[in-house]
Amino acid sequence: MNLLFYFDHPILPHAGGTERAAYLLAQALSRHGHRVSFLSLRGADSLPAEPPYFLLPRTGTLSCAENREYVETLCAGQQTDCIINCGANQDDSFFFSHERLSVQASIVSWISFDVHTGLDYFSALLRKDFSTWGNTVKTLLRRALLPYKKHVAVSNKRRKYRDMFRGSDKVVFLSPRYTEDALQLAGEPERARLYAIPNLLTYDPVQPGLSGKENAVLYVGRLVDSPKKADRLLKVWKRVQPLHPDWRLYLVGDGPERGNLERLAARLNLENVHFEGVQDPAPYYRKARILCLTSTHEGMPMVINEALSYGCTPIAFNSFHAAEDMLPDRETGRLIPPFSLRLFARELDELMSGPYVPPSTRVLTNYQPEKVIPLWMECLQE
């Protein structure tokens, strides 16, 4: 089959979670005989020669006649059998729809996030600023408007999924839990078939050894306020650092919140905190004993499985419905009730205080290619 993967940013092997997940899937499907190409709304400084990359002509906005005509012509010329929309959790699903595109290709909407994307913890998405009287008033007004804003957000989400169910041939979720969430939100689909297929494993599991491990806690991800909320981790570190002066916290990643986070670390007088920027995370997984994830919501965060692959124990808030799929027991990792910094700090302190014990990696078999790719092959061929 000729497969066209779409995402707003270029799908690259060392990019963020969705891009990397899409690249791994495309490579795996290519090895199974499918012809793969990539389409994006935005470009990049350099792109690999293979697979073929295509860029939409109007990069400012997706939904326009020029982009629609380009996609229709591209699919006809490439004899595309299937468009896999990796940005379906965004409003891109309104564009990649049989109600708007005249294409012979089937359309697969791939939801790479939690269906609710924070609606379960809507108040936690509120940015609070009490630094001045004016900012305090704005924060209180935003808080007063929360019930109305949540009602609007739920209504928009329901409309989006109903539209997606009408305009897609298939919709792929990361977990059966998300499939159920979508059905409860939008009802039975008029057209689309629904599938639950997890992300592929990024790294092959290694046999961890104590000799390679250091007293290191790790964060890997974008430095953005919502949904990642790395400021929670800094506040947790404030609680545990006096008890463990020989431990270090590494934050691997970058983003618009980095400056605010660095200032927060200084204001809290934090020690042994290292902002590493964008790096290959593998060496950090290799030496770290613990990974911390403090997001308000996620889909199926690849960092959890990446950490487990290197014998690094994850701690995360139980704030997304696939969390219990990924961390089913305390031998695999620790799930904390959202968003208790006290309980998070207590679990972190317990792991830091005890001897290094590699986490269980039994759950990783669910994300191996021999489990995941047959599910995709079935989805594409039905």
Q: How far apart are the first and last CA of the chain?
A: 12
Beta strands in 93-180 (DSSP E): 106-110, 170-173
User: Given this model, what pLDDT does residue 276 score?
Assistant: 98
Query: Which residue ranges form the domains of the chain, and what is each CATH number?
Result: 2-117+154-200+367-381 (3.40.50.2000), 210-365 (3.40.50.2000)
User: Given this model, what pLDDT does residue 210 score?
Assistant: 62
pLDDT tens profile 282-302: 999 999 999 999 999 899 999
What is the average per-residue pLDDT within 152-161?
91
Helices assigned H by DSSP within 112-145: 133-144
The region, left, alpha or beta by phi > 0 then psi within -120 to 50, assigned to residue 302 is: alpha
User: Given this model, what pLDDT does residue 146 score?
Assistant: 81
User: Given this model, what pLDDT does residue 296 score?
Assistant: 92
* Contact between residue 285 and residue 204 where contact means Cβ atoms under 8 Å apart: no
Better-predicted residue by pLDDT, 113 or 29: 29
What is the average per-residue pLDDT within 55-72?
94
Q: What is the pTM of this model?
A: 0.90
Residue 125 has pLDDT above 80, yes or no: no
pLDDT tens profile 233-276: 999 999 999 999 999 999 999 999 999 999 999 999 999 999 99
User: Given this model, what pLDDT does residue 122 score?
Assistant: 67
Helix, strand, coil distribution of the chain in percent, nearest 5: 40, 15, 40
In angstroms, rounded to a whole number, what is the distance separating the alpha carbons of residues 125 and 296?
Answer: 7
Which range in 142-146, 209-213, 234-238 is most confidently predicted, on average pLDDT? 234-238
Three-state secondary structure of 23-88: HHHHHHHHHCCCEEEEEECCCCCCCCCCCCEEECCCCCCCCCHHHHHHHHHHHHHHCCCEEEECCC
pLDDT tens profile 332-369: 999 999 999 999 999 999 999 999 999 999 999 999 99
Better-predicted residue by pLDDT, 49 or 70: 70
What is the average per-residue pLDDT within 303-308?
96
What is the average per-residue pLDDT within 73-87?
97
Find, among 109, 104, 94, the residue nearest to 169 by Cα: 109
Region of poorest pLDDT, from 113-117, 219-223, 375-379: 113-117
Kindly indicate the confidence band of residue 370, based on its pLDDT and cuts at 50, 70 and 90. Answer: very high
What is the average per-residue pLDDT within 222-238?
95
Query: How is residue 172 written in tokens?
Result: 């792929």
In angstroms, rounded to a whole number, what is the distance separating the alpha carbons of residues 186 and 192?
Answer: 12
Residue 126 has pLDDT above 90, yes or no: no
User: Given this model, what pLDDT does residue 314 score?
Assistant: 98
* Contact between residue 39 and residue 71 where contact means Cβ atoms under 8 Å apart: yes
Residue 121 has pLDDT above 80, yes or no: no
